[in-house]
Amino acid sequence: MAKTPVKKPPAPNAPKTKSAQRVKLYLTYPKKLVRAPLIWQATRDFDLVFNIRSASVSEEIGIIAIELDGAEEAIEGAITWLREQGVTVEPIEKNVIE
pLDDT band at 17 (very low <50, low <70, confident <90, very high): very low
The reported pLDDT for the residue numbered 93 is 77
pLDDT band at 8 (very low <50, low <70, confident <90, very high): very low
Residue 66 β-bridge partners:
25, 52
Nearest CA-CA partner of 44 in 68, 24, 26, 28: 68
Please state which of the ranges 13-17, 28-32, 70-74 shows the lowest mean pLDDT.
13-17
33-67, pLDDT tens digit by residue?
Answer: 999 999 999 999 999 999 999 999 999 999 999 99
Residue 29 has pLDDT above 80, yes or no: yes
Strand order in the sheet with 49-57: 49-57, 62-71, 20-29, 88-91
Residue 29 β-bridge partners:
62
Rounded Cα distance, 60 and 56, in Å: 11
* CA quadruple 3, 16, 49, 13: dihedral sign: negative
Q: What is the pTM of this model?
A: 0.74
- Residue ranges of the domains in the chain? 20-91
CATH topology of domain 20-91: Alpha-Beta Plaits (3.30.70)
Rounded Cα distance, 61 and 21, in Å: 28
Once rounded to an integer, what is the mean pLDDT over residues 78-92?
96
